[in-house]
Amino acid sequence: MESKKEIVKLSRKQLYNDIWEMSVAGVARKYNLNYARLIEACRASDIPFPSSGYWTRRNCGKDVSSETILLSGNEDEIVELLTNDSVVKRLRKSIIANETSAEKENEDNSENTVDTNEDSVSKSQILSFLSNEERKRVIAVAYNLKIDTNARLHNVLSLYKKKIADYNEQLKKAQSQRYYNPRYNKPANEPSFFSEVSDEGTKRFMGILDALYKAIEKLGGTVDEDLSIKLNDDIVRLRVVESKDKIKHELTKQEAQELLKYQDELKRHSWASKPQIRQYDHVFNGRLRIVFGEKSYIRDSEKEKLEDRLGDILIAIYEKAEENRIMRERYEEEQRKREEEVRRQEEIRKRKEEQIRLTNELVNKAEDYRIASEIRAYITAMIESGDGSLTKQWIEWAKEKADWYDPTIAREDEYLGKRDHGKNKDEKDLDKNQVQRNWYW
């Protein structure tokens, strides 16, 4: 059975309140939960949670009240959540307890055989995001995972080993220089974990990663040259760190000589410069931890080494991949919505521009029609006035100009061409359409 440290029990109402108060990631940190498992538990228990964009808008002071989704159903129903302290070995005990009586008779084989009975596997929350068949495969590999010291090292790790050897050679040359400073003269392209793990620790984690990488590939995943792992479409980046102990610094021979020299100079000169000698050293202590993301990790303990927890690490890799998948899909969905909103706004902008253009054309054409109507009215008025100077030729000419202005007729003029009725007044200014005069000096 899980201990209190390994399981958290919350009512649906409490979990809902915590999530909408501090986000899913905040709840995961508060209760030491796996993010991906928490998301799955919320979905299984029908507990709504906000999008990541919700927190961005809320933190910017925007009104997000319309985005709140109310909790429905039984608020007092208890949700059980496994913490990051839960381990495969405890699940293994519960599965072994459910084995058939025939399997119990063969204890030696049961220790290396996983019961894939659907009832026993489905009782655990571990890897609940996988299909039942895939869960059984991963758990079976996790239970039986161990380091094979006689096996050939994984190709990626062989390449990594060569990188370390090459870098050590470059570093040795750099350190032999007279004015070497690790902050400025250190060679480029330092291998991963080089400065975070001792040589002995490197040998250990190479064996650990070798077993994990081969198991990952057996399960259909891939391993990249940068030591990252790809499961389906999601990448998991591991970080290996070795803890350090703080111990009092012991003077080197050179430091002791510098100190004696300083003390001698101090007797003769008050301005003597004291050598900078550190008080403490931080030395690797052999305790390794494998970090997944920012804070989640599995480390050596007094009772168990990482080599004893390969199954836990494999499970954690799958859970981190699922967490990355959820985050990636949420980001992709939000990105899709942002792009859709940009497209929608662009479509609105184009429609608005089109409406403005069409409206202006309508107004411009109506203005031309008004002018044409006024010209015709003027012609009629001139005829009715009985003006003796009015000629038939002028009347015909004026009617042609009215037809030229009228967008419903759109007559083409011999000299003025065809009028573009949709353009504005300035663009249709007759003065601009006059024939250019040639000036001679």
What is the tens place of the pLDDT at every residue in 201-220?
Answer: 999 999 999 999 999 999 99
Q: Is residue 70, in this structure, part of any structural domain at all?
A: yes
pLDDT at 343: 95
In this structure, are 162 and 283 located in the same domain? Answer: yes
In this structure, are 295 and 377 located in the same domain? Answer: no
Domain holding 68, by residue range, is 1-84
In this structure, are 209 and 295 located in the same domain? Answer: yes
Q: Is residue 340, in this structure, part of any structural domain at all?
A: no
Select from 28, 54, 84 the last residue of a domain.
84
In this structure, are 183 and 250 located in the same domain? Answer: yes
CA nearest to 10, candidates 51, 43, 49, 42: 42
In this structure, are 396 and 274 located in the same domain? Answer: no
pLDDT at 106: 46
CA nearest to 24, candidates 421, 258, 327, 339: 327
pLDDT at 288: 94
Q: Is residue 372, in this structure, part of any structural domain at all?
A: yes
pTM: 0.66
Q: Are 277 and 255 in contact (CB under 8 A)?
A: yes
In this structure, are 204 and 289 located in the same domain? Answer: yes
Task: List strand residue ranges (DSSP E) for 137-275, in order.
Answer: 222-223, 229-231, 234-236, 238-248
Q: Is residue 309, in this structure, part of any structural domain at all?
A: no
In this structure, are 176 and 283 located in the same domain? Answer: yes
Average pLDDT score, the chain? 84
- pLDDT of residue 365 exceeding 50: yes
Select from 300, 316, 335 the last residue of a domain.
300
Q: Is residue 145, in this structure, part of any structural domain at all?
A: no
If one compares 96 and 273, the residue with the highest pLDDT of the two is 273
In this structure, are 170 and 262 located in the same domain? Answer: yes
Confidence of residue 1 (pLDDT cuts 50, 70, 90): very low
Q: Which residue has the tokens 């009715």?
A: 384
Instruction: Please tell me the total count of domains within the chain.
Output: 3
In this structure, are 165 and 236 located in the same domain? Answer: yes
**Highest-pLDDT range among 102-106, 307-311, 361-365:** 361-365
If one compares 51 and 110, the residue with the highest pLDDT of the two is 51
If one compares 381 and 5, the residue with the highest pLDDT of the two is 381
Q: Is residue 108, in this structure, part of any structural domain at all?
A: no
Q: Is residue 347, in this structure, part of any structural domain at all?
A: no
Select from 84, 109, 136 the last residue of a domain.
84
pLDDT at 101: 38
Q: Is residue 122, in this structure, part of any structural domain at all?
A: no
pLDDT at 85: 64
Helix (H) or strand (E) holding 175: helix 155-175
In this structure, are 287 and 365 located in the same domain? Answer: no
Q: What is the pLDDT of residues 117-164, one digit of tens each?
A: 444 444 456 788 899 999 999 999 998 899 998 899 999 999 999 999
Q: Which amino acid is at 186?
A: K
In this structure, are 279 and 180 located in the same domain? Answer: yes
d(CA 323, CA 304): 26
